[in-house]
Structure 1
Amino acid sequence: MQFFKVKTVEETFTLIDKHVKKIGVTEKRPLESALGCIIAEDITAREDVPGFDRSTVDGYAVRAEDTFGSSESMPGFLTVAGEVRMGEAASFPVGFGEAVYVPTGGMLPPGANSVIMIEHCEEIAGLLNTYKQVAPGENVIRAGEDIREGELLLSEGTRLRPQEIGALASLGITHVRVYRSLKAGYLSSGDEIVPFDTPELKIGQIRDINYLTIAGLAKDWGIDVIYGGIVPDDYEEFRLKAFELYNQVDCLILSGGSSVGAKDYTTEVIQSLGDPGVYVHGISVKPGKPTILAMAGEKPVIGLPGHPASAMIIFRLFGERILKNLQGENPEHRPDRIFARITKNIPSAPGRSDYIRVRLYEKDGEWWADPIIGKSGLITTLVKSGGIVEIISEKEGIAQGEYVPVIATR
């Protein structure tokens, strides 16, 4: 194999979409335990929401034309014909020159087409003084205005956030079919790597922090993670441990050992897991060039750089795309991006995409991105940053004050 025939970022995304497909296995879940899941079918509304015309304010249901011309200096006068109680149907219509009290969310009586807010009128002995005119439809939500019966509410591949859960609950849906939860396996390699809870390090040893950072990102995306531990730079031990973990999970993540070196067995181990094997060995990005992506059977395998910042950035860019494809999430969903103005000039090599850690802050109503310059092995650059600025391969850098896309790392 020829190492580091690097791919561009765009080529890498295209290859990921070509190779990594959704698992496709579904399960039915109670709505209250479906948060974060990916729905496996289109959901069509089976009723109108709301199911009746309702008021959005506390006030009086009226015929709008009866209020035309009303003002503080020349109020209108309407007869109060009664009230609608919360949770009860309006049992009588509103006639010409009449008004009916309705609370927020209360049903609009027949004949009424708007609601005048209680702050803009005054009831005195059954007579309503109106100090403001209202337009037809003002302060009213019509039946089906939120969700219409027969309307496509959610399409297959949508991740269920709290707002989607609420929309489904409004339709009385108690269970939803979703793609099953996925498991990823994480395995660290390297003679110098020791467990993160090692109290005292010997010279040359490094605590395994990548497991916690990478697993944390995966869990944020709804993926369960199995920790395979740490293996030394021994091909056979590495291969056996990777194969054991591979058989337990839907995606295998390996960290460390992705550079070219005498003890680098990552590529050989990945190739041994099954065909078609490696489809990306090196990406034209900084940091994170020595990245390996592969398919072993129908399972993705991700070989991350060992440096913490590089590993997190690569996993945020490409690991998320792989796992979302595997979950069945709509491919239109991409990492969150905002636009901010850069505080400094940053040079960049043409033909390579650069990702710069930045601190985000707001000034004069605009977001600004302040670069945090540091080597890929520095952990503090991750702690200080709130986002990653993307400098695309076609550019030779960005100028101070320029608007740039920022991937939020939250």
Structure 2
Amino acid sequence: MQLFEALKIDEALKVLKENLINVRARSEEVELLDALNRVLAEDVYSPEDIPPFNRSTVDGYAVIASDTFGASESLPAILKVAGEIKMGEKPAFSLKAGEAARISTGGMLPEGSDAVVMLEYTQPLEDGTLLVERPVAPGENVILKGEDVKKGDLVLKKGHTLRPQDLAVLAGMGFQKVRVAVSPKVSVISTGDEIKPPGVEIREGEIRDMNSFSVAGLVLKWGGIPEVFGVVRDDFDEIKKAVSEALKISDLVVISGGSSVGTRDLTVKVLESLGKPGVIAHGLAVKPGKPTIIAVVEEKPVVGLPGHPVSAMVIFEQVVRPIISWFLGRPEDYGGLKVKAKIARNISSAAGREDFIRVRLEQKEGELWAVPVLGKSGLISTMVESHGLARIAPEKLGVKEGEYVDVELY
């Protein structure tokens, strides 16, 4: 295989998928609170109506709406109070024409009623009658049975990532547990003799490990479980040992560093030594992140990220995140919020290459602008100072100042 026969990202992912036969979502049942940010493994249909009865949205009086038509402060409607509805109980009576019933927010409307008059538009009298000073329409101040969710409705689709509001609707339908995709285990390995863990005093020529933390953080962000191996020396046997162990305990292996063509870059050699098909792509038509490695070993995907912190994070978002989505059974393009903004300066690009520009978003005269945060791919501060990545498509030779670009927020 020729190194640096650069593929487009979508081409590389297609080739990877063709070489994988075991990437499928497994499922498990978890308690509702444990399901936050997990991915549904099956469609969810409502077993009941929400709400299960007609309920009031205000404190006031349940009425028959037609009894209030024409009511005003000067000429109120006069109704008889038939009783009070207790919270959490089904009313023991029904309303007849000319009657009203005291009700609190969330209370169940008695049979015969179809609206609720707010408390502030009524005056109860000592003789058990009620003055209604404002008319209401049928259904006013009421949520009808099944108005929120109807029994049998498809409420949440398989592949959906659960949010707090989704837990609420599941609880409202009576679910205590829900079936979700099993989070894939992702081994995270950093390589390099010059890389040292935080907390260790470094000497000249050494730098601290950042990639283990950014990559593990991204794994967590997108639904995986990171297994951090820490830093492995630039030694063939040590890298091979770490990767072999990672393959045993994880679904996906991510290695940062050692992806360029050089005498001390051993990742490709290690992956080729571990089994077929081995490396299936070395080099992507992308900036930053060209020297990316994509491999399949023991029927598991392995991605070699560039060692520079920015390149590692950009390639993770474009390559590793979709792979995690495969394991979770969610859409491959699942990701951050995308917005359109005007680019604040001219940016050139090479034909056939996909560029990702770090940008800071600013509002100027009511318009959203993407201001490039320029810097080398080794400068993590450029990621900290930016809000997202602006994409320049491979068929373009760049973008001009004022041109709209797509920005994916971090």
Contact in 2 for aligned 1:47/1:148 (Cα 8 Å): yes
- 1:298 Cα deviation (Å)? 2.9
**Pairwise CA distance, 1:377:** 0.9
Aligned amino acid, residue 148 of structure 1 = K
Q: Which moved more, 1:334-343 or 1:261-270?
A: 334-343
2:305 matched to 1:304? yes
Question: 2:48 matched to 1:58?
Answer: no
CA gap 1:58/1:364 in 2 versus in 1, 3 angstroms:
farther
Q: What SS does the corresponding residue of 2:249 show, helix, strand or coil?
A: coil
- The amino acid across from 1:55 in the alignment is S
Structure 1 residues 359, 323: closer, same or farther in 2, change over 3 A?
Answer: same
Separation in 2 of the partners of 1:132 and 1:395? Answer: 64
Structure 1 gap ranges (5+): none
**Structure 2 residue aligned with 1:67:** 68
Hey, what's the Cα distance between the residues in 2 that align with 1:332 and 1:371?
A: 24
What's 1:10 paired with? 10
Distance 1:82-1:363 versus aligned 2 partners, 3 A rule: farther
TM-score, normalised with respect to structure 2 = 0.91
Match for residue 155 of structure 1 among 149, 157, 167? 157
The match for 2:277 is: 276
Change over 3 Å in CA distance of 1:117–1:26 after alignment to 2: same
2:192 maps to what in 1? 190
Shift of 1:211: 0.4
AA aligned opposite 1:198: V
Post-superposition shift, 1:213?
0.8
**Distance change >3 Å, CA 272–CA 145, structure 1 → 2:** farther
**Alignment partners' CA distance in 1, 2:40 and 2:144:** 29
- Within 1, Cα distance between the matches of 2:73 and 2:366? 37
Residue range with higher mean Cα deviation, 164-173 or 22-31: 22-31
Check if 1:388 corresponds to 2:383: no
1:102-251, aligned counterparts within 5 Å? 102-125=103-126, 126-199=128-201, 201-251=202-252
Q: Provide the rounded CA distance (Å) in 2 between the counterparts of 1:346 and 1:404.
A: 11
Q: Which residue of 2 aligns with 1:257?
A: 258
Q: What amino acid is aligned across from residue 196 of structure 1 in structure 2?
A: P
1:22 Cα deviation (Å)?
A: 4.0
Aligned-partner residue type, residue 230 of structure 1: V
- Seen in structure 2, the aligned counterparts of structure 1 residues 291 and 142 have a Cα distance that, compared at 3 Å, is same
- In structure 2, runs of 5+ residues without a counterpart are none
> Cα–Cα, structure 1 residues 360 and 262, in superposed 2: closer, same or farther, change >3 Å?
same
Distance in 2 (CA, whole Å) between partners of 1:338 and 1:98 is 55
How far did 1:143 drift?
Answer: 1.4
Letter in 2 for 1:189: T
> 1:371-391: CA deviations, max 9, x gaps?
211111112111111211122
How far off is 1:222 after superposition?
Answer: 2.9
Please give the alpha-carbon distance, in whole angstroms, between the structure 1 residues aligned to 2:124 and 2:304: 73
Contact 2:247 2:298 (C-alpha < 8 Å) held by counterparts: no
Using the TM superposition, give the Cα deviation of residue 74 of structure 1 relative to its aligned residue in structure 2, in angstroms. Answer: 5.0
> 1:62 touches 1:100 (CA, 8 Å); kept in 2?
yes
What's the offset of the Cα at 1:109? 1.4
Following superposition, the deviation at residue 52 of structure 1 comes to 0.8
Kept in 2: contact 1:16–1:322 (CA 8 A): no
**Worse overlay, 19-28 or 143-152:** 19-28
Corresponding residue for residue 323 of structure 1: 324
Determine helix, strand or coil for the equivalent of 2:79: strand
Moved more, 302-311 or 166-175: 166-175
Identity of aligned residues (%): 47
- Which residue of 2 is the match for residue 92 of structure 1? 93
| Number of residue pairs aligned between Structure 1 and Structure 2 | 408
Is residue 2:317 matched to residue 1:335? Answer: no
Residue 348 of structure 2 is matched in structure 1 by 347
Task: Classify the secondary structure of the residue corresponding to 1:165.
Answer: helix
Q: CA deviation at 1:405?
A: 2.0
What's the CA shift for 1:299?
A: 1.5
Counterpart-to-counterpart distance in 2, 1:308 and 1:288:
10
Provide the secondary structure at the position in 2 that maps to 1:394: coil
Q: Provide the TM-score with structure 1 as the length reference.
A: 0.91
TM-superposed CA distance for 1:99, in Å, is 2.2
Given the superposition, is the C-alpha separation of residues 226 and 332 from structure 1 closer, same or farther in structure 2, using an over 3 Å criterion? closer
Q: 1:354 to 1:122 in 2, by over 3 A?
A: farther
